[in-house]
Amino acid sequence: MRLEELRGERVTRSDGFTFRWDEQEITAYPGETILGALIASDIHTLRSTRFEHEPRGMLCAIGVCYECLVNVDGKPNRRACVTPAAPGMIVRPEGQDEEMRYDAAE
């Protein structure tokens, strides 16, 4: 649910589009960040820490803390809070493949 909907406000939006988040279709709107679309879709955990596997997600939402790092179209370390969503992009939790290698080594 988007903030305007929580407030009961009517918002006129242009047509939405979708991108993929970890095998799930996410709806976003022009001008919206990846993080905004994920939070509106009730997705709050974006990655896990490498060794302790603790969940990480939104903290500052202004691009300062780097807690919301994701992999966008194969490019690592993108901040979801400042990266605009785009049609057809593929977004994955950061370090997912790396974590699998660490898990296999433990």
**Domain count of the fold of the chain:** 1
Q: What is the pLDDT of residues 11-51, one digit of tens each?
A: 567 889 999 998 899 999 988 999 999 999 999 999 888 88
DSSP 58-103: -SSSSSSS-TTEEEETTEEEEETTTSBP-TT-EEEETTHHHHHHHH
pLDDT band at 101 (very low <50, low <70, confident <90, very high): very low
**Mean pLDDT in residue range 90-98:** 80
Which residue range forms the structural domain that includes residue 30? 3-105
pTM, entire model: 0.78
Q: What is the pLDDT of residues 40-60, one digit of tens each?
A: 999 999 988 888 888 888 888
pLDDT score for 106: 39
Contact 37, 57 (CB under 8 A): no
Read off the CATH number of the domain in which 65 is found. 3.10.20.440
DSSP state of 38: H
